[in-house]
A = this chain, B = another copy of it.
């Protein structure tokens, strides 16, 4: 068996081995459209800097970014406004709280959201994107994603509508942020951007490409272009490690040790820097996209996390 085939076999085996873990989770129920997904799906894509991709499972499935989008808008806001502007409005500290918690906005004056990976911080970040309307801001974001993935992504309107109708908790967060001065545009605009960015549809291959660019510090190895600064890329990776997997980020760092961001759709984005995969048989410096819609109570794909842990161990990938 050739080396490439061997690696493909690893991901195929992984999907087979961990698909069953889906039983221990369930599709996000608070967003009606997500509840209808097939909980047994599991897919993975890994892409190296030479464009070499291995894929397994239901890799043709389209799914929404959900919280994975938080990394992307953070990067875009930094590109648009500069890091100092962004960091004045959102901190980069993990919290240990659930992603939709509102308590800290009141208990820690002046109510600056703790990091861009929880809903409060992400809504603040979405409010900062440049553009005269939600539509302009989203056009910019989609353009940015098209640069990375090489294809035009679209917003799943049904998912957006479904979330928009039930976004009371996010509205509470947004109005609270507005009251404390941490929102850069009207609430409804910020929420429209935020919920539409969450509803952008991708495949695991798209995720893997995003991970690839972040892994390479903003440089797109296939396009041979620097899309965003090294400084912003490194901060994004730091945020993914400290806050990316909701309030299981500490455990994820401890047991897996890769910059990653999950979404309640069951998406996981991982960025493996070259230096974190020196001993990997896979080309060093890769991006990983995973999809497994059955999530645990914290919001992470149950089978997806197991699969990622398996790959990290198998290929000796870790930043630690």
* A interface residues (Cβ-Cβ under 8 A, vs B): 91-97, 101-107, 114-115, 168-169, 171-176, 178-179, 187, 234-235, 237-239, 241-243, 247-251, 253-255, 257, 259, 273, 275-276, 278, 318-320
Contact = CB atoms under 8 A, between A and B. Distances in A.
Nearest to A240: B320
A107 to B, nearest CB: 6
A177 to B, nearest CB: 8
B320 A254 contact: no
Closest 5 CB pairs of A and B: A168-B179, A93-B250, A94-B94, A172-B175, A172-B176
Contact of A254 (B107, B168, B239): B239
A249 B94 contact: yes
| Main SS at interface, chain A | helix
- Copy number of this protein in the oligomer? 4
A243 to B, nearest CB: 7
Contacts of A241: 241-242, 253, 320
A102 B104 contact: no
A174 B173 CA distance: 11
Of A234, A253, A318, the most chain B CB neighbours within 10 A belong to A253
A12 to B, nearest CB: 27
Nearest to A178: B168
A243 B237 contact: no
Q: Quick one: which of A96, A276, A318 has the most chain B CB within 10 A?
A: A96
Contact of A242 (B173, B174, B249): B249
Nearest to A217: B320
Contact of A235 (B178, B254, B259): B254
B235 A242 contact: no
10 contacts: A92-B253, A93-B247, A94-B96, A102-B172, A103-B107, A168-B187, A234-B318, A241-B242, A242-B242, A276-B319
A234 B320 contact: yes
Given A179-B172, A242-B242, A250-B243, A237 B94 contact: no
A173 B257 CA distance: 30
Given A102-B106, A169-B176, A94 B250 contact: yes
B115 A250 contact: yes
Contacts of A173: 172
A243 B241 CA distance: 11
Contacts of A318: 234
Given A96-B97, A242-B250, 16 more contacts: A92-B250, A93-B96, A93-B247, A93-B249, A94-B94, A94-B95, A102-B103, A102-B172, A168-B175, A171-B187, A172-B174, A172-B179, A235-B255, A238-B320, A241-B242, A319-B320
A106 B178 CA distance: 19
A104 B93 contact: no
Contacts of A257: 234, 238
